[in-house]
Amino acid sequence: MKLSRSYIADFVGLLFPQLCPACGEALMANEHVICTSCQYSLPLTNFHLQPDNIVARQFWGKVNVQAAYALYYFTKGGKVQNLVHHLKYKGMQQIGHAVGNIAGVQLVKNEIFYSADVIIPVPLHKKRLKQRGYNQSTCFADGLAHKLNAVVDVTSLIRTRATETQTKKGRFTRFENMQEVFMITDPEKLKNKHILLVDDIVTTGSTLEACAVELLKIDGVRLSIATIAYAE
């Protein structure tokens, strides 16, 4: 007697349950990537409803950003940190797609974000990309693009120099560390486009600001920013 595929899948699931990367609990049969409980309890910012939110204010007077947004609040040791850790270091690219879809559901209701033509993830240096095998921000971008009906561009903005981790640096040091790190490869391709620049976490905004400076040199470009999380 042949066993059905669903029966086999259920049996394998009992032996090797998939775990929610946010809370570590086993996913139910109808849950995908993030458990239902976490989807409802993760700390949403609702910044898409607040044009003058704290992320947007970080760029005021520095770079001309149409709108800025983060999906979640990031707290040390919290569930959002667990998500980002599994996305960046555990190979769980599906987390990026999942949270990109969640963010896209919010941003599709915002006229500014929905008008984006191109989504550009903050690039990794080629050495880091080779080590990790993927760019976590590209995973997020792909999830967003699915909802916003925009194109993901991973070739027009590149990182020309590897930089040290920004985690323990102050704002000014972070800004200095990011000078002349990014380069535009094909400005003609982006002329007169509304670009949505995306990253995993925004803290001081130095990395995003450095990218924005280069992108805004292109004629007619409008720029908005979206990240998975905001960390104070």
pLDDT digit string, tens, across residues 131-162: 999 999 999 999 999 999 999 999 999 999 87
The pLDDT of residue 80 is: 98
Q: How confident is the model at residue 7 (pLDDT cuts 50, 70, 90)?
A: very low
The whole-model pTM stands at 0.88
* Beta-strand pair 222-231/194-202: parallel
pLDDT digit string, tens, across residues 83-137: 999 999 999 999 999 999 999 999 999 999 999 999 999 999 999 999 999 999 9
CB 34 within 8 A of CB 86: no
pLDDT digit string, tens, across residues 27-76: 998 999 999 999 999 999 999 999 999 999 999 999 999 999 999 999 99
